[in-house]
């Protein structure tokens, strides 16, 4: 299986990846099967929360047994949409309180 970087400038064979982690706003892969260990930036995001969410996205994608041969790193837009979907606001979008039922 292969991982294509977010800006399509490199592709990495997962057989050669020792670790994938987020540092600040970057998602980095540590390659182990080289003479000297090398790092590759797989994606750049708008902050550390988005980069961590991208790693979670990758982990859930890689856990699936029916994956294709290529994982494209998600865009910042995709990660932001996933984060908003996971954190639904408790109030109305216009700022008004939602109508409660019961109570005083």
The predicted-structure confidence for 7-64, as pLDDT tens digits, reads as follows 889 899 888 888 999 999 999 999 887 677 788 999 999 898 999 999 988 888 877 7
Which pLDDT value is given to residue 99?
A: 60
d(CA 58, CA 91): 31
| Residue 22 contacts residue 48 (beta carbons within 8 Å) | yes
């Amino acid at each position: 299986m292969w991982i294509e970087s977010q800006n399509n400038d490199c592709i990495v064979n997962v057989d050669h990846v020792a670790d994938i982690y987020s540092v600040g706003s970057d998602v980095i892969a540590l390659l182990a099967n080289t003479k000297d260990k090398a790092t590759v930036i797989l994606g750049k995001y708008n902050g550390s929360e988005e980069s961590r969410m991208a790693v979670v996205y990758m982990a859930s994608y890689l856990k699936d047994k029916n994956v294709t041969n290529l994982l494209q790193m998600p865009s910042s837009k995709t990660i932001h949409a996933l984060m908003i979907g996971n954190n639904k606001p408790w109030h109305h979008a216009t700022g008004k309180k939602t109508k409660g039922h019961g109570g005083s």
